[in-house]
């Protein structure tokens, strides 16, 4: 039987019954014009089902990331403005170091929490913002390095933009082998940072940047390690981008957009701190 031809004795889909004239305005073989009642039902029908509207989207991740960065910026401005206007008051130090401690604790909570919590993500952003503003203000005003905050922000934005463009054009990708190397190196770097912090806190090493102030072939160790940290941060961004893309393709729940936002903001903050420290070390040595 030819495709589209009705069996013997049956009418074609949309056609008029045998012996009756085809309705006006409905070409032969097509559905007739719907009635006003049918049109009303179609227009009143929902545009998308609950499964479709509850899925992770790129727009959702962008919105949540922008909100998280906005909260970070508010905390940043608060402590930065405090040092600029009132100087290093006890409240300034309390907010700066309190933000560092609370931010660290909330980072661990968000990392190991199975279900993302918008409140905890935003609380982390606020705490880190307070720390970043105080730390940045201390570097620029306390060490007399005018413009270093802007330089660090611009460099961080450039690293993020280049990494995102490279990922979009399929230039930057992760691999299981690189992931193993990444985690080994980052654990080692974390241990070094912890030891350096303890030495500075206890007064064993009184250099401004601790062990990072030491020189290797005339180059400050902090610059070498900072460059390595920036590379690690860029690779971490690629991992974040891949995770977001995979989540969108698999149609995971939109609540995991908060996990994506947390990961991106945490990496961006890390990049900013490392770049600010590199610039401070370089400019202090000149």
The DSSP annotation for 171-210 comes to -----HHHHHHHHHHHHHHHHHHHHHHHHHHTTS--STTG
Enter the tokens of residue 30: 């097509």
Give the other-Cβ count within 10 Å of 182's Cβ: 18
Q: What confidence score (pLDDT) does residue 213 get?
A: 83
- Segment 250-274 mean pLDDT: 95
Within 8 A by CB and 6+ apart from 64, the residues are 118, 257, 258, 260, 261
- Segment 45-56 mean pLDDT: 61
Q: What confidence score (pLDDT) does residue 70 get?
A: 97
* Domain ranges within the chain, ordered by starting residue: 55-285
Spatial contact of 189 and 182, defined as CB atoms under 8 Å apart? no
- 267 vs 13, residue with greater confidence: 267
Spatial contact of 260 and 244, defined as CB atoms under 8 Å apart? yes
Within 8 A by CB and 6+ apart from 95, the residues are 78, 79, 82, 130, 134
Which run of H or E residues covers position 216? strand 215-216
From 194, 173, 176, 195, select the one nearest 184 (Cα to Cα).
Answer: 176
Q: What confidence score (pLDDT) does residue 41 get?
A: 59
Spatial contact of 56 and 252, defined as CB atoms under 8 Å apart? yes
Mean pLDDT of the chain: 85
Kindly indicate the confidence band of residue 2, based on its pLDDT and cuts at 50, 70 and 90. very low
Q: What confidence score (pLDDT) does residue 37 get?
A: 61
Spatial contact of 162 and 278, defined as CB atoms under 8 Å apart? no
Tens digits of residue pLDDT in 268-278: 999 999 999 99
Instruction: Tell me the whole-structure pTM to 2 decimals.
Output: 0.80
From 274, 217, 185, 243, select the one nearest 65 (Cα to Cα).
Answer: 243
Beta bridge partners of 216: 219
Within 8 A by CB and 6+ apart from 50, the residues are none
Judge whether residue 5 has pLDDT over 60.
no
Enter the tokens of residue 237: 């961004």
Tens digits of residue pLDDT in 177-227: 999 999 999 999 999 999 998 998 888 887 888 888 888 888 899 999 999
Q: What is the full DSSP assignment across 19-62?
A: TSPPPTT--TTSPPPPPHHHHHHHHHS-SS-HHHHTB--HHHHH
Within 8 A by CB and 6+ apart from 142, the residues are 83, 88
- Segment 246-263 mean pLDDT: 94
Kindly indicate the confidence band of residue 237, based on its pLDDT and cuts at 50, 70 and 90. very high
| SS3 (DSSP) at 87 | coil
- Segment 40-66 mean pLDDT: 73
Kindly indicate the confidence band of residue 32, based on its pLDDT and cuts at 50, 70 and 90. low
Distance, in Å, from the CA atom of 97 to the CA atom of 49, rounded to the nearest integer, reads: 47
Work out whether strand 215-216 and strand 219-220 pair parallel, antiparallel, or are unpaired. antiparallel
Spatial contact of 281 and 224, defined as CB atoms under 8 Å apart? no
Judge whether residue 40 has pLDDT over 90.
no
Q: What confidence score (pLDDT) does residue 27 get?
A: 45
């Amino acid at each position: 039987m030819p495709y589209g031809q009705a069996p013997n004795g049956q009418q074609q889909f949309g056609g008029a019954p045998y012996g009756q004239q085809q309705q006006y305005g409905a070409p032969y073989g097509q559905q007739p014009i719907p009635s006003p009642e049918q049109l009303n039902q179609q227009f009143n029908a929902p545009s998308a089902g609950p499964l479709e509207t509850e899925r992770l989207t790129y727009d959702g991740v962008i919105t949540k990331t922008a909100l998280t960065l906005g909260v970070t910026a508010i905390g940043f401005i608060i402590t930065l403005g405090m040092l600029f206007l009132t100087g290093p008051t006890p409240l300034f130090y309390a907010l700066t170091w309190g933000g560092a401690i609370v931010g660290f604790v909330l980072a661990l909570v968000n990392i190991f929490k199975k279900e993302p919590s918008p409140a905890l993500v935003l609380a982390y952003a606020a705490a880190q913002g307070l720390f970043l503003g105080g730390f940045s203000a201390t570097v620029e005003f306390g060490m007399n390095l005018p413009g270093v905050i802007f330089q660090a922000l611009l460099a961080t934005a450039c690293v993020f933009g280049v990494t995102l463009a490279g990922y979009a054009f399929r230039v930057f990708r992760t691999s299981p082998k690189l992931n193993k190397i990444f985690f080994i190196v980052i654990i080692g770097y974390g241990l070094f940072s912890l030891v350096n912090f303890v030495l500075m806190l206890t007064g064993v090493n009184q250099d401004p940047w601790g062990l990072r102030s030491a020189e290797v072939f005339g180059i400050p160790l902090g610059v070498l390690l900072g460059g390595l940290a920036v590379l690690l941060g860029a690779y971490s961004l690629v991992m974040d981008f891949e995770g977001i893309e995979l989540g969108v393709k698999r149609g995971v729940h939109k609540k995991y957009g908060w996990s994506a936002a947390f990961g991106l903001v945490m990496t961006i903050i890390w990049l900013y701190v490392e770049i600010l420290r590199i610039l401070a070390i370089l400019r202090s040595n000149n």
